[in-house]
């Protein structure tokens, strides 16, 4: 499908600089722009490509000032990165949200209740007592256990497994092969040195506008619920253990792990491979750099942490500056000792 600059500008509430009839039917990176492509410039590092791109339309921030003439049509918007995200979301929804119906190769319990315009792909299994809201899309080979509730306008991608009694809110996206509601890692040591499994009888709650990446696991609670609050975005290959609560609008990058019964605050940001110990609390607005190990409760909000065990990032860099000098200091000490 092709859109004109005027159509895009109206949708994004932007201003056109150039030909309002310029058209784009695909989206590309600015350094790879070709005629008929829509690109965006948000990072100044890529400004050089704006003056050489063959793209037909480029989104830029309103504050951006040209240093050279351009051949493409510009659409000036408040936030080019946010605007391209909106367009990509629209493009993606046009490919997926128009799917309707139920494959004859899907198993749907007669005791399940599906809303309007729900799509169920081939090989999916929907158990008894399941409730699925309007316009939700269940891709092929999804398993949905007994008494699961899924809200409106959700995307459940291929291979997802949602165990019994879990609750998924509205406008949620769960990517391929993710598991929601598997047993928490709970074992009690016995007198003989073996371990007895502790039954995990709780469930998982995903509130509205949550997105979970591929191959991520969110364990069910031992009792009550593991809760992912509204607006949370979790990357691929993340482990969230039993009875964890992740506060609203927190984001968590790939290969991170959260141990059991930890409470994470609102608006937190965790880089890749962050590890968070169990039975602690992490304050609102906490930011943790990649490979940070948070082993104790973080009481002060809006801190940036680095290192393992985690410390304030300014202290970390001071300590690291000393750490890098240790080999030279060792040589000096050895020389003094001689």
3-class DSSP string for 259-301: CCCCEECCCCEECCCCEECCCCEECCCCEECCCCEECCCECCC
Angle at 220 between CA 218 and CA 222, to 5 degrees: 140
- Whole-angstrom Cα distance, residue 312 to residue 328? 26
Residues contacting 215, CB < 8 A, separation 6+: 176, 177, 178, 236, 237
Question: For residues 286 and 298, is the Cβ–Cβ distance under 8 A?
Answer: yes
Give 3-state DSSP helix, strand, coil % of the chain, rounded to 5. Answer: 20, 30, 50
Distance from chain centroid for Cα 285: 17
Is 164 a residue of the active site?
A: no
Q: Is 204 exposed, middle or buried (0-12, 13-18, 19+ CB in 10 A)?
A: buried
Decide: helix, strand or coil at residue 334.
helix
Q: Is 77 exposed, middle or buried (0-12, 13-18, 19+ CB in 10 A)?
A: buried
- Whole-angstrom Cα distance, residue 92 to residue 216? 22
Which helix (H) or strand (E) covers residue 5, if one does?
helix 5-12
Cβ–Cβ contacts within 10 Å for residue 196, how many? 9
- Whole-angstrom Cα distance, residue 258 to residue 32? 39
- Whole-angstrom Cα distance, residue 152 to residue 138? 12
- Which of 262, 302, 303, 295 is CA-nearest to residue 281? 262
Question: For residues 197 and 178, is the Cβ–Cβ distance under 8 A?
Answer: no
The CA R_g of the chain, rounded to the nearest whole Å, is: 25
Annotated catalytic residue, options 13, 175, 242, 279: 242
Give the residue numbers marked as catalytic.
242
């Amino acid at each position: 499908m092709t859109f004109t600059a005027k159509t895009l500008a109206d949708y994004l509430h932007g201003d056109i600089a150039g030909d309002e009839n310029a058209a784009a039917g695909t989206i590309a990176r600015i350094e790879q722009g070709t005629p008929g492509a829509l690109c965006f410039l948000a990072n100044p590092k890529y400004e050089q490509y704006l003056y050489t791109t063959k793209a037909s339309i480029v989104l830029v921030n309103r504050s951006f000032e040209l240093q050279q003439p351009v051949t493409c049509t510009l659409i000036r918007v408040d936030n080019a990165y946010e605007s391209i995200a909106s367009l990509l979301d629209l493009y993606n929804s046009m490919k997926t949200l128009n799917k309707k119906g139920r494959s004859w190769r899907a198993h749907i319990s007669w005791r399940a209740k599906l809303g309007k315009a729900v799509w169920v792909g081939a090989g999916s299994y929907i158990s008894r007592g399941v409730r699925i809201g309007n316009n939700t899309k269940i891709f092929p080979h999804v398993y949905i256990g007994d008494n699961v509730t899924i809200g409106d306008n959700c995307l459940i991608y291929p291979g997802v497994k949602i165990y019994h009694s879990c609750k998924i809110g509205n406008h949620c996206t769960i990517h391929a092969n993710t598991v929601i509601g598997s047993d928490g890692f709970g074992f009690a040591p016995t007198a003989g040195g073996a371990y007895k499994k502790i039954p995990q009888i709780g469930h998982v709650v995903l509130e509205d506008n949550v997105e979970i990446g591929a191959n991520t696991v969110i364990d069910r609670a031992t009792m009550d619920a593991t809760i992912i609050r509204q607006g949370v975005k979790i990357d691929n290959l993340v482990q969230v253990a039993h009875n964890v609560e992740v506060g609203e609008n927190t984001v968590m990058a790939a290969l991170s792990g959260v141990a059991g019964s930890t409470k994470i605050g609102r608006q937190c940001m965790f880089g890749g491979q962050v590890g968070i110990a169990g039975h602690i609390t992490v304050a609102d607005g906490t930011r943790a750099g990649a490979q940070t190990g948070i082993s104790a409760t973080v009481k002060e909000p809006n801190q940036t942490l680095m290192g393992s065990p985690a410390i304030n990032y300014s202290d970390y860099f001071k300590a690291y500056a000393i750490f890098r000098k240790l080999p030279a200091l060792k040589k000096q000490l050895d020389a003094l000792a001689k």
